């Protein structure tokens, strides 16, 4: 009978501790700010399954994409979701990372995965640069005008 009371006491303490953490807002903080760690964890789990030889090499494609997306979501959670208007090409980059991992860790795939990853990576970087140019076009014009003005002031004058 004393053993049952001890076990029941431990259960009551654990329940009370969990309720206290809930009232203090610990779970809402985790749910709001740290949920991207679940996405990263799922991607790392897929990597572990491949490296422990439980899954085929193609599991690295979603694994690499999930880790990349988890980092993107974590950055947006920390610094604001407005960054997504500039960082959306990372979704394409995530697939490129997964394809690159398959080409690196599985030698039998040939060069097709490597070629696809390079093409998608370049498309992603190109779209990122294009997005920055569109969003910051006025600043680029200002920088170009400043550089042109400085060049015109400090260049060596030609003789007429």
Are 68 and 136 found together in one domain?
yes
Count the domains in the chain: 2
User: What average pLDDT does the segment 126-151 reach?
Assistant: 87
Q: Above 80 in pLDDT, residue 59?
A: yes
**Residue-level pLDDT at 46:** 95
Task: Let me know whether 26 and 41 are in one domain.
Answer: no
Same domain, 17 and 85: no
Phi and psi, residue 155, nearest 5°: -75, 160
CB-hemisphere CA count at 13 Å for 49? 17
Radius of gyration of the chain (CA): 26
Residues 45 and 10 occupy one common structural domain: no
Whether residues 67 and 146 share a domain: the answer is yes
Parent domain of 48: 37-154
For 143, phi then psi, to 5°, come to -65, -45
Same domain, 8 and 64: no
The whole-number average pLDDT for the span 144-148 is 91
pLDDT for residue 144 is more than 90:
no
Residue 122 within a domain: yes
Please provide the DSSP assignment of the chain as one string.
Answer: -HHHHHHHHHHHHHHHHHHHHHHTTHHHHHHHHSTHHHHHHHHHHHHHHHHTTSS-GGGHHHHHHHHHHHHHHHHHHHH-GGGHHHHTTHHHHHHHHHHHHHHHH-GGGTTHHHHHHHHHHHHHHHHHHHHHHHHTHHHHHHHHHHHHHHHHHHSPPPP-
**pLDDT of the residue at 1:** 55
Q: Are 14 and 42 in a shared domain?
A: no
Single out the residue of 70, 87, 99 nearest to residue 125, CA to CA. Answer: 87
Report pLDDT digits (tens) over 13-30.
Answer: 888 888 887 788 777 777
Q: What is the pLDDT at residue 56?
A: 92
Model confidence pLDDT, tens digit, residues 72-120: 999 999 999 999 999 999 999 999 999 999 999 887 877 889 999 999 9
pLDDT digits (tens, 9 = 90+) for 27-51: 777 777 788 999 999 999 999 999 9
- Which one has a higher pLDDT value, 155 or 53? 53
**Is the residue at 159 inside a domain?**
no
Full 3-state SS string of 25-59:
CHHHHHHHHCCHHHHHHHHHHHHHHHHCCCCCHHH
Output the pLDDT for position 159: 57
């Amino acid at each position: 009978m004393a053993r049952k009371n001890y076990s029941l006491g431990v259960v009551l303490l654990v329940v009370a501790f969990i309720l206290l953490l809930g009232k203090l807002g610990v779970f809402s903080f985790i749910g709001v700010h740290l949920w991207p760690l679940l996405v990263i964890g799922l991607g790392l789990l897929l990597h572990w399954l491949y490296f422990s030889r439980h899954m085929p090499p193609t599991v690295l494609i979603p694994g690499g994409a999930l880790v990349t997306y988890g980092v993107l979501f974590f950055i947006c959670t920390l610094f604001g979701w407005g960054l997504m208007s500039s960082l959306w090409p990372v979704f394409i980059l995530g697939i490129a990372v997964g394809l690159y991992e398959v080409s690196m860790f599985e030698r039998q795939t040939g060069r097709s995965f490597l070629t696809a990853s390079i093409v998608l990576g370049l498309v992603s970087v190109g779209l990122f640069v294009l997005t920055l140019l569109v969003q910051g076009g006025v600043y680029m014009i200002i920088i170009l005008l400043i550089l042109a003005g400085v060049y015109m002031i400090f260049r060596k004058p030609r003789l007429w």
